[in-house]
Structure formats: structure tokens, C-alpha cells
Amino acid sequence: MPTETGDRSRESEVGRPRPGVGAGHARPAAHLDRAKVGRTPSSARDPLVALFALAAVLLALASSACRQDMHDQPKYIPLRPSDFFADGRSERPLAEGTVARGHLNGDAEYYTGKGPDGQPVEAFPFPVTKDIIERGGQRFDIYCAPCHGRLGDGGGMIVRRGFRRPPSYHIDRLRNAPSGYLYGVISSGFGAMQDYAAQIEPRDRWAIVAYVRALQLSQNASIGDVPPEAREQLEARK
């Protein structure tokens, strides 16, 4: 059918960089031909229909294909792949022998949990406040509780799904372990546990250690540890 070919020829024109130009007059000769032959009212509307079709295609294209240049600008956003580097990553690993800005990590006790003698430190590198413990509790629930359980007894959900069971925090070995040791386990991993250095900032690791200490106390406390004013409350709840 002539109409079809006519439409198609106009559609193909859309691909050109000058959309909308000469929409009704793309093929004036053909148009005249048809007008002579047809002599029906419908032939008068023909270019109009074609115009609509063209407009529809243009609009559809305007809303899809054309937008991509501004959408995907030639710049790197986080994790956008790169053709430039062989491994395809725009995010580059540290060059050997360099230190990233702000990551000198000069305070060895704070960043490794170990003293100058290489042994885990007992003391916290900063004063522990209630805020720190609360922050530690929040981070503990995110990163540790999946395996260690919210109570630290080693019965977390991942363990129930088959991960090797970690020891409970409420054993003498871990109650007596220095804080730096717990910090070291978070930072470097232990046994089946992978390190969490990439997931938890050093300050939060210490906060988690503080919270673990609080958990240990909570599971191994006597009534004598409770302040007298809170004791009444506790006894009333019995």
C-alpha cells in the first residue's frame, strides 16, 4: 500500500539530525501522484495522518533515545566501569608504597589494638561514654549479631543456617581477654570469621568492643552489681 511506504519513508527521516523539517513535504512528487489517482476525501487527509505518525515517533524518540547523552555523561561516578584500565575499574586501588590522605594510621594502639610490645592493649584508647556504648550496640546488631546473636551467645541467624558456631562471649577466656584482643579479632578476623576492617571504622570497632564488654557484664552480673535505686525496680519485676 502506498500509504505504508510513505509513512515508512518519513519514519526513516526521523533518524536524521533535523527532525520535524519538511514533514508534510518529504516527497512532494509522490504526494501529487496520489492526489491525482485517489480523488477521494481520504487522500486529502493522508498527509495529516502521516504528520501525526511522524509527530508520534518524534515524541517517542524525544522521550527515549535522545536523553541518554545527558543521562550518561562521560564522567566517573562510584563503581562506574572504565575502559581505560585493564581491570575495568574506575576506582583505583592504592598504588604501592602510598598512604591515602587521612589514613596514615600513626596511632598504632588505636588502629591495631596492640601495644608497642605487640601484645593486645588492655585499656581503651579513648574514654568510654554511654553514647559510645550505644553506638557500639547499634553497630553490633548490624555487623556481629547475625552470627554472634544479640546476646553474644553465638546463636545468631547465620549460625542457625549452617555457619560454624562462634564461641559465646560469656566464657572465661573471652571475659578475661584484653580489649585490644577483641578489637584485633574484628580488624583481622579469627577462625572462620572474616575480618571486618572494610565494613567497620576503627572508632566503631572500639565502640563494639565496649558494647561486648557491657554484654559480658550483663550476662555475668550479680544483684550486688545493680545500683540500689535500680534494684527495687528489678525486684518488683520478678
Partner 1 sequence: MSQIFHRSANSFARISIFGAVFMLAFLGWIAFEIDRSPWQTRQAQIREQPVPFSHVHHVGDLGLDCRYCHTTVETSSFANIPPTKTCMNCHSQIWSASPTLEPVRASFRTGTSIRWTRVYDLPDFVYFNHSIHVNKGVGCETCHGRVDRMPLTWQEHSLQMSWCLDCHRQPEKYVRPREFVTALGYQPAGDREEIGRRLVKEYGIQDVRTLTSCNTCHR
Select 47 or 121, whichever has its Cβ closest to partner 1.
47
Per rule CB under 8 A, is residue 142 in the interface with partner 1?
yes
Looking at residues 63 to 82 of the shown chain, list those that interact with partner 1 (rule: CB under 8 A).
63-64, 67, 70-73, 75, 77-79, 81
Per rule CB under 8 A, is residue 164 in the interface with partner 1?
yes
Binding residues for partner 1, rule CB under 8 A, total 43
Select 83 or 117, whichever has its Cβ closest to partner 1.
83
DSSP secondary structure, the chain, as one string: -HHHHHHHHHHHHHTSSSTTTTSTTSSHHHHHHHHHHH-SHHHHHHHHHHHHHHHHHHHHHHHTGGGHHHHS-SS--TT-B-SSSTT-BSSPPPPTT---TT-----HHHHHSB-TTSSBPSS-SS---HHHHHHHHHHIIIIIHHHH-TTSSS--HHHHTTPPPPPPS-SHHHHSS-HHHHHHHHHH-BTTBPP-TTTS-HHHHHHHHHHHHHHHHHTS--GGGS-HHHHHHHHHH-
Select 182 or 200, whichever has its Cβ closest to partner 1.
200
Per rule CB under 8 A, is residue 55 in the interface with partner 1?
yes
What residues line the site for partner 1 (CB under 8 A)?
35-36, 39, 41, 44-45, 48, 52, 55-56, 59-60, 62-64, 67, 70-73, 75, 77-79, 81, 87-89, 141-143, 146, 157-158, 161-164, 192, 194, 198-200
